[in-house]
Amino acid sequence: MLAVTRGRRVGADIEQMRANDDIEAIARRHFAPSELDQWLLLAPERRLQGFYAGWTRKEAYVKALGGGLGTVALDGFEVSLDPDRPAALQSIGGSNDAARHWSLWSLDVAPGFAAAVVVEGTSLRLHMTDEI
């Protein structure tokens, strides 16, 4: 997956959703407390999709900052996790205002995959193509 912008920070992530016994442990270790609460409120059959919705949203934001896992604290910012609701960057360092300066989308790319794109700025349009 490739994300391109003109003069704005951008990040993208795509993951194949795999049932994994460690998903809850990973969520507890890396999600902010409010994200973990959101995730645990999902019906058990929706938690796999919710986990990957949150994970791809978080990784996309980290990549937009120019970092990687381990360079940015994943619990230092919050994203929405409900796969049935619009993607949202909810807070950055506890600030809802800082999060409002970013646009976040979840992408429907293929069955069994979760993907997200985040771009610095608001009132933006997203154009997707499967051609290069």
Residues 6+ apart with CB under 8 A from 119: 3, 5, 8, 9, 10, 64, 102, 103, 126
**9 half-sphere exposure, CB direction, 13 A CA radius:** 12
Per-residue pLDDT tens over the stretch 75-121 = 999 999 999 999 999 999 999 999 999 999 999 899 999 999 999 98
pLDDT of residue 131: 61
pLDDT of residue 1: 75
Per-residue pLDDT tens over the stretch 41-87 = 999 999 999 999 999 999 999 999 997 767 788 999 999 999 999 99
**3 half-sphere exposure, CB direction, 13 A CA radius:** 24
Q: Which fold does the domain 10-120 belong to in CATH?
A: Ribosomal Protein L22; Chain A (3.90.470)
Map residue 94 onto helix, strand or coil.
coil
Q: What is the pTM of this model?
A: 0.90
Residue 7 pLDDT class (50, 70, 90 cuts): confident
β-bridge pairing 10-16 and 113-120: antiparallel
pLDDT of residue 53: 97
Residue 129 pLDDT class (50, 70, 90 cuts): low
Per-residue pLDDT tens over the stretch 8-36 = 999 999 999 998 778 999 999 999 999 99
Name the more confident of 32 and 3.
32
β-bridge pairing 77-79 and 89-92: antiparallel
Domain segments of the chain as ranges: 10-120
